């Protein structure tokens, strides 16, 4: 008697059904891991930017001045030397308008890019990237907070996005509608949703 090798149609459908079920279980887990990695990177960026801002304040005995509207400057440009970007800082002229900035400044250093905002933004065109983090001055510019930039904020990164605390807490953040934030001169990164700190 001849022995047959191969799969019957029923066996094939069972194997395909098992593979489909495994993929259905696996793909959401991959998405969740990617989102967690983006959040971790964003929180680390805020922490490192906070440290750079503190170093700037210790050296200059003040926080960075706000930029003039439409001009290259502000806090993101001011702290470039404190995030190991002195060469980039040296290429920036004090009197540039954002519209005159060279293409080399279109993309900010990676520490100024929130991976979650990068996914949400349409940065396919050769245009200046918006700031992914916001400086929130407090106590007459003696203290500060750093936040993720609200989703609808499109201030160019070289203009050093700044906002008032009362304005930012009413907006929608990039992380499940909330914001990661750091309090200036303090360690740690928190999360805020709807104006409430979530621990």
Residue 125 pLDDT exceeds 80: no
pLDDT at residue number 116: 86
User: Is 52 inside a domain boundary?
Assistant: yes
Confidence of residue 103 (pLDDT cuts 50, 70, 90): confident
Residue 1 pLDDT exceeds 60: no
Helices (H) and strands (E) in the chain, counts: 5, 5
Residue 112 pLDDT exceeds 90: yes
The pLDDT of 139-156, averaged and rounded, is 92
Q: Three-class SS of residue 134? A: strand
User: What's the mean per-residue pLDDT of the chain?
Assistant: 88
Domain tally, the chain? 1
pLDDT at residue number 194: 85
User: Is 109 inside a domain boundary?
Assistant: yes
User: Is 2 inside a domain boundary?
Assistant: no
Residue 105 pLDDT exceeds 80: yes
Q: What contacts 77, CB < 8 A, 6 or more positions away? A: 67, 89, 92, 158, 160
CA distance readout (Å), 198 to 190, 191, 192, 195 = 7, 6, 6, 9
Phi–psi pair at 196, nearest 5 degrees: -110, 130
Instruction: List pLDDT tens digits, range 171-194.
Output: 999 988 899 999 988 888 999 988
Across 3-7, 15-19, 72-76, 177-181, least confident range:
3-7
Which one, of 146, 145, 195, 151, lies nearest residue 173 by Cα? 151
User: Is 53 inside a domain boundary?
Assistant: yes
User: Is 140 inside a domain boundary?
Assistant: yes
Q: Where are the alpha helices (DSSP H) in the chain?
A: 9-60, 75-78, 86-90, 115-120, 165-168
User: Is 107 inside a domain boundary?
Assistant: yes
Q: Which domain holds residue 194?
A: 10-198
Which one, of 53, 55, 54, lies nearest residue 75 by Cα? 53
Which one, of 168, 130, 134, lies nearest residue 148 by Cα? 134
Q: What contacts 10, CB < 8 A, 6 or more positions away? A: none
User: Is 4 inside a domain boundary?
Assistant: no
User: Is 1 inside a domain boundary?
Assistant: no
Which one, of 157, 152, 188, 182, lies nearest residue 167 by Cα? 152
8 Å CB contact between 159 and 73: yes
Instruction: Select the more confidently predicted residue: 78 or 6.
Output: 78
Residue 38 pLDDT exceeds 90: no
Confidence of residue 124 (pLDDT cuts 50, 70, 90): low
């Amino acid at each position: 008697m001849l022995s047959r090798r191969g799969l019957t149609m029923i066996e094939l459908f069972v194997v395909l059904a098992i593979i489909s079920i495994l993929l259905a279980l696996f793909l959401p887990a991959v998405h969740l891991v990617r989102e967690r990695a983006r959040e971790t990177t964003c929180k680390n960026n805020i922490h490192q930017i906070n440290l750079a801002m503190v170093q700037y304040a210790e050296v200059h005995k003040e926080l960075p001045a706000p930029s003039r509207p439409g001009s290259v400057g502000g806090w993101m440009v001011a702290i470039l030397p404190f995030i190991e970007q002195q060469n980039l800082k040296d290429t920036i002229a004090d009197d540039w308008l954002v519209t005159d900035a060279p293409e080399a400044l279109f993309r900010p250093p990676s520490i100024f890019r929130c991976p979650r905002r990068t996914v949400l933004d349409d940065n396919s065109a050769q245009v200046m990237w918006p700031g992914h983090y916001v400086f929130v001055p407090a106590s007459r510019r003696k203290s500060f907070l750093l936040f993720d930039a609200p989703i609808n904020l499109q201030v160019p990164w070289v203009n050093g996005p700044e906002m008032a605390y009362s304005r930012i807490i009413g907006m929608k953040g990039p992380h499940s509608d909330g914001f990661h934030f750091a309090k200036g001169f303090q360690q740690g990164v928190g999360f805020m949703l709807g104006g409430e700190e979530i621990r």
